[in-house]
């Protein structure tokens, strides 16, 4: 036992600070993920103990009791041993109690409902094949793909799906919750630190399930307030009238910018300032936001199979128009 403890502590230490800060469950960046990580460490510790004991007995037995060549001896036929059997029934029960109590605590702790809390930010998450819609019910604004949240506040989520079942997950901030079609789930998360955290869809939802990423961007309260104001400001339309008309007729039937347009596709307000196009084409990599938008508008199916958006062949947009729209959208950034 004396030798085991340092081994186990070492193992647990090894687990901490493991993986990317914005992605790993082993590198928690918020209280929810921290509580879950504590439980994980506790259970890994207990379980490592069990594994070590079993392995030790196993190895000992295999070395000690090998049959020698030609050995005809018949070992004693032991029926059992009550004392031993009681021991290996009781010890696991004790170990499970140690794990069970905090489990129950956290099950209820993490299920707290902040939907009526005036201090919490209310966000309604709607999952679509293959994108995320975030509606801030208190502010009357809607955005997509980049979830913007203030630090230091409880964020109370109301989760649902528009088509098939998805699952909302930001590993380094907290565990996942499914978005079910036809019913709502609630959960809360907290973001104590500013930064961009990677979010993922965790439930098989079709051919592009793997690409259904999103980003959670935690900013200061002041910055968040500026963002809300910018989102509410009148929409900026393309300067060129002809392009604006094309944009309105071709894009805004489903998408929206500011107060204009529909809501069956991702809201595009300030899309130029987002982390990615399509949830996974990082704008600080590759050709940058304008190129990504151009590629996306030309052939969404080629980038994300099964996406609802029609490609250039169907929309009839010319290369020139696509370039114009991409440029306009890339430059559409919110100041916050």
Within positions 135 to 174, which residues make up the interface with another protein, using CB under 8 A?
Answer: 159, 163-165, 167, 169, 171-172, 174
Distance of closest approach, residue 199 Cβ to another protein, in angstroms: 10
Mind giving me the DSSP string for 144-177? ESEEEEETTSEEEEEEEESSS-EEEEETTTEEEE
**Which residue, 204 or 239, is less far from another protein as judged by CB?**
204
Instruction: Give 69 or 320: the residue with its C-beta nearer to another protein.
Output: 69
* Beta carbon nearer to another protein, 85 or 222: 85
Residue with smaller CB distance to another protein, 279 or 324: 279
Under the criterion CB under 8 A, does residue 106 sit at the interface with another protein?
Answer: yes
| Helix or strand (DSSP H, E) at 99 | helix 82-109
Q: Per CB under 8 A, which region of 208-216, 225-233, 245-253, 261-269 contacts another protein?
A: 208-216
Q: Which stretch binds another protein (CB under 8 A): 44-52, 141-149, 250-258, 314-322?
A: 44-52
Q: Maximum CA pair distance of the chain? A: 98
Indicate the residue among 36 and 269 with the shorter CB distance to another protein. Answer: 36
For 53, 76, 77, the CA distances from 80, given in Å and listed in that order, are: 20, 11, 9
Residue 238 tokens read as: 């393309």
Provide the minimum distance between the beta carbon of 75 and another protein in the complex, in angstroms, as a whole number. 5
Query: Are 197 and 170 in contact, with CB atoms under 8 Å apart?
Result: yes
**DSSP codes, 212-250:** --EEEEEE-HHHHHHHHHHHHSPPPPPSSHHHHHHHHHH
Distance CA 153, CA 298 (A): 40
Q: What is the nearest approach in angstroms of another protein to the Cβ of residue 336?
A: 27
Q: Please state, in angstroms and rounded to a whole number, the distance separating the CA atoms of residues 220 and 149.
A: 8
CB of 236 to another protein, least distance (A): 31
Q: How many residues bind another protein (CB under 8 A)?
A: 92
Q: Does 34 bind another protein (CB under 8 A)?
A: no
Q: In whole angstroms, how close is the CB of 108 to another protein at the nearest point? A: 5
Per-residue contact track with another protein, 172 to 191, x per CB under 8 A?
Answer: x-xxxxx-xxxx-xx-----
Side-chain-side CA neighbours of 29 within 13 Å: the count stands at 22
């Amino acid at each position: 036992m004396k030798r085991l403890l340092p081994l186990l502590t070492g193992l647990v230490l090894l687990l901490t600070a493991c993986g990317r800060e914005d992605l790993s469950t082993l590198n928690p960046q918020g209280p929810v993920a921290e509580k879950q990580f504590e439980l994980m460490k506790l259970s890994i510790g207990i379980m490592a103990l069990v594994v070590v004991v079993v392995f030790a007995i196993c190895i000992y037995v295999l070395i000690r009791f090998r049959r020698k060549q030609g050995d005809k001896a018949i070992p004693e036929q032991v029926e059992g041993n009550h004392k031993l059997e009681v021991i290996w029934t009781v010890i696991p029960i004790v170990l499970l109690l140690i794990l069970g109590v905090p489990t129950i605590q956290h099950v209820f702790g993490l299920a707290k409902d902040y939907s009526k809390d005036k201090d919490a930010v209310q966000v309604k998450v709607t999952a679509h094949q293959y994108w995320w819609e975030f509606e801030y019910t208190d502010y009357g604004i809607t955005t997509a793909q980049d979830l913007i949240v203030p630090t230091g506040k409880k964020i109370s989520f109301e989760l649902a799906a528009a088509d098939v079942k998805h699952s909302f997950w930001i590993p380094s901030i907290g565990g996942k919750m499914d978005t079910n079609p036809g019913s709502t789930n609630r959960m809360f998360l907290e973001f104590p630190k500013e930064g961009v955290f990677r979010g993922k869809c965790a439930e098989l939802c079709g051919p592009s399930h793997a690409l259904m990423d999103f980003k959670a961007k935690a900013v200061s309260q002041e910055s968040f307030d500026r963002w809300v104001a910018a989102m509410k400001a009148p929409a900026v339309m393309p300067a060129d009238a002809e392009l604006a008309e094309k944009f309105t007729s071709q894009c805004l039937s489903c998408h929206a910018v500011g107060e204009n347009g529909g809501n069956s596709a991702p809201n595009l307000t300030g899309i130029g300032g987002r982390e990615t196009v399509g949830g996974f084409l990082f704008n600080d990599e590759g050709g940058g936001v304008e190129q990504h938008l151009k590629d996306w508008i030309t052939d969404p199916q080629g980038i994300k199979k099964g996406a609802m958006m029609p490609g250039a062949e169907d929309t009839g947009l010319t290369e020139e128009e696509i370039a114009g729209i991409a440029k306009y959208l890339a430059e559409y950034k919110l100041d916050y």
